[in-house]
Structure 1
């Protein structure tokens, strides 16, 4: 008996020592009590094939098993079980009358509902256990035992459940022929109840209501830490060290515009969410911080500035804000597309080079053609009347003048030295004027034409010969100016 007692004490101390080393309790109710039926079977350990034969079971038809257990952490619990029975049958069915039997055991449980294998709040919660204890069969002595087994709790409503377990109890020095020294199976079934409060982090909030069981925190954050005391738990706080409203996940909002400072481009000035916290005084969807015209409603692509003529150039940069133009010309139009703004183009409707002020330039061969053709214009002798044979020549010259409407021309009349000089001068003037009037009649603007007569003072050939005098009687048409503004 002394050896059995030492063994029992060793088992109990081992369990208690192991329990003391476990540094946390379950997040559930820490305590559990149970009551139910207790079954003792001395036959099955020696005749295992008869384990299911209930005629060998010894049971007291009343509450005969009491259990109290304490959770040590999510995986382990220690329990004390006290059971009683009325023994009538031993190994092999040996009848011994009716003798009382008491056993008391301390076991360490390994729970599968630990959150790793199955969830902690599982309805079906199996476990394994091992431990030792003492038992007493009336008319015998107290004996020690060691053993283990398996069981489960079925939690059918909150903290109330059904417990069923089976244990193999080994009595050291057991002898199947000696009553009281026989090994036995211990089955039990009953009701269990969980109770008690658990506060692992000692923050005053029970674990089953504590969202952060192992970290202390205030009730306002369900037991979770809140360093900045803004009622937003650090784990959910986007700014855990700066107090802010719940609506902004705990981040501050200095300008109270509903946008957290960390996301606010203008944290000190109230703005809108669409503008990422910046104001937009003119409501043009361009934040004032980016708006080059913050008090005038404008376009996004023009940095918030208006564009009255819709030419893609902001009014503030547009030299012609009411007339659509090109970006290259700072918003001014260029009707002839020659790269010179109309306001600076001497010929805004006719393309020309910059070197000529935007006016077209007659080709050298065209100018030469006019000069040559002009000298073939014929008049009635001694008169300023143009001969009809020269009309075709004049019409060709007219066409070139109309082709370049921004040119000015001088028409010069010349004579030979036959006759009086004054008369020749007058005749040359009248002939030049006749040619001018012809061009005007064909659509050439009068202000584009000058006419002058020089008489006999500018010969181009020798007046001593008939051929020379014929060459000196002539009309010359010269290009005076290119780029007359229309």
Structure 2
């Protein structure tokens, strides 16, 4: 154990592996696992004898049943990596030579401690065989071995390895290393030539990916901004197939024809240059339409559907509905109205009363904002009246009786008023003309002590907004 500290310090400073394909993306690698020492090599009398029982682990291998080696190395380029391997073991099977062609003699020298530290130059063959996961390799190097308290000596090493990469950075590896000893002493305490086997897990690390997009900086054209592999690490925010750097509209999907900008209305003018990007128009009018063909863009035409002179803002001079409000100024040119109401008819008290007569008959499902089936004709009648006054605004108000909690009644009244408003909008009433509010039980029009009174208090009112 007295050499263990030396071993650990050396390993932590520079430990190397010899059976994993490091690269410039992940230049550092570390592996650890179990090693086995086989001294039969020094006892073999021929080359054939060397390999005859190469994997006879049961009879000849010395294995410490724990993590017994650790390695770290650095990739140096051209499929080569360099580092150190540190290992520990216990020798309880010391193999002696054959006698008269009999089996090897195996003795127990008394659980000799084994420490090894080896420099390794490894060459990966993975690129040669064009594999993404199978990684054969060859390695050479040298080291120093301590055996028990007295034996120690240098070795020259060579061997083969095989790794399988489960992921880009994690693999399982095996290597076999022949260690030729330079301890020339004849004593039994000398370090013999031997084989050492290593099996374990390998982890690669050290690659720099500043923007965290999975593309290493050395291959990333945009190393500080997360991007896509197909664009060499550059982003395409709007996913239109054009990198942000080449995209005139990087946050809105477009086409290559318009340098990455969209043409929403399909009029051949990119939205960024189109004064009316949502409506197909003419190039001569900056992409805006001219529905009536009077040479005035609809957005500047007070009468976009009727031809009119430019001096009259595109409106004809006639007053079609005869209400003495010219069509160019008439908000309701097809319905006679008043000058005070911009040519639209004014809502009378009688109309408001008619609206509320209908509104009182609106029925909801109990405790809900959904309509009962018989209510839909009433809502259609209200819609028809509102369409007669397109320039008037209305407020829909909801009320409840006093049953239940105040907060629940308040919410229910708001939801019911909103339900009526939304129905009217769905039927063509402009949302800008409508508002809704709920008053819960705060504005009763009858007593809440009778069933009939409560029924009257549960109501919807329509009010003209002046």
Q: Return the TM-score normalized by structure 2.
A: 0.42
- Structure number with larger C-alpha Rg: 1
Q: Return the TM-score normalized by structure 1.
A: 0.41
